[in-house]
Structure 1
Amino acid sequence: MLTRLRGAIERLASNGGVVRSVVAVRELIRREGWREACRKIVRVVDRQDRYQRWIDAYEPERDDAFQPLRDELGQLARLPLISVVVPVFNTPAHLLSGMIESVLGQIYPHWELCIADDASSEPHVRRLLDDYATRDARIKVVFREQNGHICAASNSALELVGGDYVALLDHDDLLPRHALAVVAKYIDAHPAGRLFYSDEDKISGQGVRSTPYFKPDWDPELIVQQNFFSHLGVYESRLIREVGGFRAGLEGSQDHDLLLRCVQAAGDRAVVHIPHVLYHWRVIEGSTALDIGEKPYAVRAAVRAVADYLSADETGTSVEAPCRDFPFIRVRRALPNPVPGVRIVVLAHGDDTRLDACIRSLFEYTDYAHYRVSIVGPCSASMDFLSADDAARVTHAGRADDEHHALDEVIEAGDEDYLCICDDAVRLFDRRWLAELMAQAVRPSVGIVGPAIHGPDGRIHAVGLITLPDGTALRAHAGVGSLGIGYFGQAVLTHTVSALPGACMVFRREVWRETGGIDTAASQGFARDVDLSRRVIATGRSSVVVPAAKVMIDADDGHRTTACPSAGQERDESCRDRYYNPNLAITRSGATFEPAFPPRIGRFE
């Protein structure tokens, strides 16, 4: 193990630098412990090896590999001019040349490169930019007389824009050859789209690609905690002008701020995800590709951008800066005052010992002022451990042959506006579990909310579900350690999912009535959970998982086993869960968040 770990650290150092790698490993050990850190380091390197094999297999750089895409471009109804906007300041010559050459190498010819130099003091910058502008008329350059930082420089570059769409590119990053061609394809295919974003990866000084981020489709919940839109972000030029371009004072998070203001103006339906790696983010010292802590002003700007965006529609919401133990923006939504009532419906399955443990934990670990409990299903437990006041809050519906009918009776008999359906296998251990769920459930756009479900060993059992074409699902992030963050933070960040496990969920009473509640006939695997979530989504509301709300399941939930797809299903586009990228694997071991062999989408689809 030590030999393998040493080799893994050496590999990481070759990609990101020795000092950076040592700091990262030390922080990982501090946060997750030695044993878990070792496992994660080896897993990261194994994933890197897998990604290199994936690149070799599915992203060949031979010129003839791009001919199908060239042929498709000739069939497009429109070929928009795409303006690539780049602010520049004292960029090292080799990085600046590399960036420009990556644009010159695009197989899509209808572009212009709009560069604003922010009064660089290094003489090579002007010489190099003048030389490139002389060589290709599509390269436009403005030299600012005074340094104004990145927002001012970006706005100067925007003044050069003559295209229909703007693609934002950092001065030291790279575009793969097919990037703008695929963007043009998606613009043509989505005429209502005004904002487009792609997947991305990182690239070292040695040209080694790593750490691909195969992103979910557009998620209004995730975007306020993590700017997954960048990179590659492409904006309708008219939309950027409508919102006034980049805002001074938001330096370091100017892209996130611009995006949020554009979404506010255009709406969520205007955002289109391109599930292909179309951007290579340089891993160099001082880059936020490595550590946003290197630019503390960027952290402050990110908090301000999100707070300003949320303040337009929400009151009582606080935004907290990333910290060592939670390296993401944290959004805390306030509950109404007084808090709404919740009817917690515990589904009993005939095991009084299990039911007893569930009810005990519920009353011990629920820090929420207004709730009552109803038990549906067989129950002969005495509940004598409850105080008189707590016992008065519990009712038992008795044994019913029809669980759906019994649920309906209990729900219609109560007067609470919100329902929490909870399996008797669930154990509560975090006092704020219900408050965290309710803070999301009270939002009009949200239809159903669920917690992160942990196993008895502390590892994650499920953070939402990944749906399959047969109506069943796989548990997301299963096996992640109690201190792990999962795939790009998704095990700890509130986000939208296609379905939630039925072991614990919260929703409005009106949602239950509109959707007809749980279909008890759909009992195979997670089928009833997927069915309910789909009916909720059909009402125009979302399904949201809240990892800050934690519950435990005392054993593998046997009556909700998962199903695995066949090889044929893996290639079926209908199996695409919007929030699980088609470049990520679905195998017989589950949803691995590893590169898929083969991807469920073609290279240029």
Structure 2
Amino acid sequence: MTLKYRIERFEFHDLKTKQFITIVGWCYQEDNESVNYHIKLDGKEVDFELFRPGREDIINGYDLGFKNTHIGFRITVPCDVEPTSIEVNAYTDTLSECILNYDQRKINKYRDKRGIRNYIDEFSYNEETKTYQVKGWAFSYEKEPITFSILNAAGKEVEFDYKSKGRVDLYSLSMVDEDQIDCGYTIKWKGNAKEKYSFVLKTKNYQSKEILQEKTPSQNVLSKVPKLFKMMSYQHIKNGFRILRKKGFSGVIDRIVHGSSNWAEYDEWFNATKVTEEELERQRNTKFEFAPMISIIVATFNTKEEYLKEMIDSVRNQSYSNWQLCIGDGSTNDAAEKYVKEHYGDDSRIVFKRLEKNYGISGNMNGALELVTGDYVGLFDHDDLLTPDCLYEFVASMQEVHHDCVYSDEDKLNDKTKKFEDPHFKPDFSIDLLCSHNYITHFFVVNMDIVRKVGGMRSEYDGSQDHDFIFRCVEQANSVHHVPKILYHWRMHPLSTAMDPESKMYCYTSGKKAIESHFKRVGIDATVEMLPRPLYGMYHCKYTVKDHPLVSILIPNYNHKDLLKGCIESLMNVNTYSNIEIVIVENNSTEQEIFDYYKELEETYSNVKVIYYEGDFNYSKINNYGVKYTHGEYILFLNNDTKVIEPDSIEDMLGVCQREDVGAVGAKLLYEDDTVQHCGVVVGYHGYATAAFSLIDRNDFGYMGRPRVSWDVSAVTAACLMTKREIFDEVGGFDEDFKVACNDVDLCLKIRSLNKWIVEDVFSVWYHYESKSRGLEDTPEKQARFQSEIARFQKKWPEILKNGDPFHNPNFDLDKGPFTYPKA
């Protein structure tokens, strides 16, 4: 095994008060050994600071199995004297390699004498308000406070308003430390157009002065950094803004530094929050009114004695005692049989059957299934582990309702490090997510009556036999319940798919077949596409559109001809679904050019009409009014500041929306820079709701691939929302008391109350130039109205706010933002 590494940034800071070297990059060992570093400065070993950020970009880009490992590094080396050489050696338990060796000439090439680092992201002038604005970031390498001044052309200071802003992007690029995260700024002042101003920044030892010139927001720091600098994880940078905008810094740092689904502290968190011995003792003494026997079935095949012992012991250590362990052994020798009889022969709850031959995973599991005498069946892999409270938690969840199917959260046990990693905090039952990939996996328990009805494992689905089995079970279940606790450890070792996704490619083909069979049984016409690497095991289900129905696209509009024109042209020229009508609801525009454009549209397109709503702006009333003028069986509510990206976006949404069990469908909306604006809504954030995965990269894997596959959500944004007309009418349309905010979330929750799914269709992709038409909530009056609408929402929907969003696991810390580090 060798070391893989890259040096992405080297800086020699030569300041008035100190000198130091910063080195940024990544390094890993192919066998997942921990990498450490030695630094030699001028030939002598020196102390240094080491910061290890997660590098999900590298992990995903190289499809590495050890997704929890912090392979990134930022090394800071203090220099007492001017350095003449530096050498960095990376080493593991088995090897060592020099990854950087610079002489004095090379070091001097990267000398930087700036004490203040400043960058202006935007400088603009608003003619209407006669206000200048400059946005950017600045920090002192010596961590001294910075004072700001704006000077006019005569050199006199101008009064201005200053607001600091968190810049997690800079933190994730290792440019600033955590205590400098508020280095962003927004400065505004009144002035005359075309007047020249200077921007002055001062610390105790340094001063920076810059003549301000107009700069658009697109000319930001990330477009200016050198090529190697750009190789830092854009995914992590953009992930952070989601919570940053909502004032949650610590959670952002955890997420972008440690990765979206794999946290460095997870092992520590799990061990700190796992069930205690005192609690286990209480569980052992608990007498349940409903106490079913749970028969756990396991297929063994030449299983390592160590794994066999740990697997069996994890069952025997259960605090709930009414269980049965059924082992079907297809091994080529009798080692497992002898071991079980010798060590567990006195436990009648453990039943072992030596099979005549290896029948494959399904056949061997069916051999174990033949031994079952219990009320429920649990699926268990021969090299995995249950937590000691697993069965207790399952049975506890069945007391009020005897659920037919129950599943839990899970994580992975790194067989090399013996640490728990990569937790999968799952949503409550989500049929669309199950059709996107087998998110349920372990631990899954099903009523034996259903197993008798659907049969056991099917060998033609080997590799994804669990996926196929789970589909057949949930199709028959009256209740599918999720226990939101880590109760199962999936062992990662070189031969497991947990460690090497490509080790069993046939699994993914079988998964595709399992989904197709599910659709055939439930009468849904759809095609299933396997997604490419690194999304192996995930699928795009494309539902066949029937009868080519009319889709009415409803677009409220106020001024902004260019925005509306971009939207309409994308619908006419990019979108490929032809049977559409477009109804534009004009609301109090003041610019003649928009009325000229309306006339042009109606003269050009027979399927476009403009209607007029003359009341004050009320998003709900405008849309309810507009629906009366539409004729389609399906309605697509669409903002005027959107553009279709994927040509089949409307058709893809329509195919989903035609399903009998679906009430509404949302799309994946992107900002102009290809970061995510919307990918579903999570209810409960700060007493209301928030968009999931905002400002991650368009192709970011996100948490467990969620923003890359379709899934069920509690709500989607009405900026692009499709629903059936009959359902819209049944729930009474938009609640007109929600004039600007809350209306789309409220609509979706009303639809959910009909027991219909709200689907986030990530394969329907649009640009969304958010809030350009009506503006942001940036005045006291707007903010007061916004807060009053939230208060009304809280009064109307107390249960979901109390119990939590069913599609967002309660282990996440929603106070910080969706899918952020779990609460201890």
TM normalised by structure 2 equals: 0.65
- 5+ long unaligned stretches in structure 2: 1-7, 10-22, 36-56, 66-229, 238-255, 778-782, 792-796
- 5+ long unaligned stretches in structure 1: 599-605
Q: Which residue of 2 aligns with 1:194?
A: 404
Q: Which residue of 1 aligns with 2:815?
A: 587
* TM-fit CA distance, 1:571: 13
Q: In the alignment, which of 529, 544, 547 is matched to residue 334 of structure 1?
A: 544
Is contact 1:299–1:322 with CA below 8 Å preserved after alignment? no
* TM-fit CA distance, 1:313: 3.0
Q: In the alignment, which of 375, 392, 399 is matched to residue 181 of structure 1?
A: 392
Q: In the alignment, which of 277, 296, 311 is matched to residue 505 of structure 2?
A: 296
Q: Which residue of 2 aligns with 1:281?
A: 490
RMSD: 3.2
Partner SS, residue 315 of structure 2: helix
Q: In the alignment, which of 786, 798, 806 is matched to residue 578 of structure 1?
A: 806
Partner SS, residue 345 of structure 1: strand
Is contact 1:243–1:261 with CA below 8 Å preserved after alignment? yes
Query: 1:6-155 alignment to 2 at 5 Å?
Result: 6=26, 9=28, 13-14=32-33, 25-27=61-63, 34-36=231-233, 39=236, 42-44=257-259, 47-59=262-274, 62-71=276-285, 73-74=286-287, 76-118=288-330, 120-155=331-366
**CA distance, structure 1, for counterparts of residue 682 and residue 381 of structure 2:** 34
Is contact 2:283–2:320 with CA below 8 Å preserved after alignment? no
Is contact 2:601–2:608 with CA below 8 Å preserved after alignment? no
* TM-fit CA distance, 1:264: 2.1
Query: Greater helix percent: which structure?
Result: 1
Partner SS, residue 461 of structure 2: coil
**CA distance, structure 1, for counterparts of residue 321 and residue 678 of structure 2:** 46
Q: Residue by residue, what CA displacement relative to the aligned partner does 1:515-556 show, whole Å, maximum 9, x if unpaired?
A: 22122321464x111111111122232211100001111145
**CA distance, structure 2, for counterparts of residue 457 and residue 22 of structure 1:** 22
Matched, 1:257 2:468: yes
Is contact 1:570–1:586 with CA below 8 Å preserved after alignment? no
Q: Residue by residue, what CA displacement relative to the aligned partner does 1:284-336 show, whole Å, maximum 9, x if unpaired?
A: 12212234431122222212211111012335411223432542122111112
**CA distance, structure 1, for counterparts of residue 261 and residue 372 of structure 2:** 43
Is contact 1:25–1:37 with CA below 8 Å preserved after alignment? no
Q: Which residue of 2 aligns with 1:602?
A: none
- CA change 1:132–1:167 in 2 (3 A) is farther
Is contact 2:258–2:264 with CA below 8 Å preserved after alignment? no
Is contact 2:260–2:702 with CA below 8 Å preserved after alignment? no
Query: 1:194-343 alignment to 2 at 5 Å?
Result: 194-205=404-415, 206-266=417-477, 269-324=478-533, 326-327=535-536, 328-337=538-547, 339-343=548-552
**CA distance, structure 1, for counterparts of residue 261 and residue 564 of structure 2:** 42
* TM-fit CA distance, 1:217: 0.4
**CA distance, structure 1, for counterparts of residue 509 and residue 535 of structure 2:** 15
Matched, 1:506 2:712: no
Q: In the alignment, which of 743, 753, 756 is matched to residue 538 of structure 1?
A: 753
**CA distance, structure 2, for counterparts of residue 313 and residue 244 of structure 1:** 17
Matched, 1:476 2:692: yes
**CA distance, structure 2, for counterparts of residue 325 and residue 544 of structure 1:** 23
* TM-fit CA distance, 1:92: 1.2
Is contact 1:286–1:295 with CA below 8 Å preserved after alignment? no
Is contact 1:471–1:530 with CA below 8 Å preserved after alignment? no
- CA change 1:53–1:351 in 2 (3 A) is farther
Larger Rg: 2
- CA change 1:386–1:221 in 2 (3 A) is farther
Matched, 1:467 2:678: no
* TM-fit CA distance, 1:582: 0.4
Partner SS, residue 650 of structure 2: helix
**CA distance, structure 1, for counterparts of residue 627 and residue 598 of structure 2:** 25
* TM-fit CA distance, 1:470: 7.7
**CA distance, structure 1, for counterparts of residue 261 and residue 362 of structure 2:** 39
* TM-fit CA distance, 1:144: 0.8
Highest RCO, 1 vs 2 (Cα 8 Å, sep ≥ 6): 1
**CA distance, structure 2, for counterparts of residue 387 and residue 528 of structure 1:** 29
* TM-fit CA distance, 1:173: 0.3
Q: How many residues align?
A: 576
**CA distance, structure 2, for counterparts of residue 212 and residue 84 of structure 1:** 22
Q: In the alignment, which of 379, 385, 391 is matched to residue 605 of structure 2?
A: 391
* TM-fit CA distance, 1:28: 7.7
TM normalised by structure 1 equals: 0.87
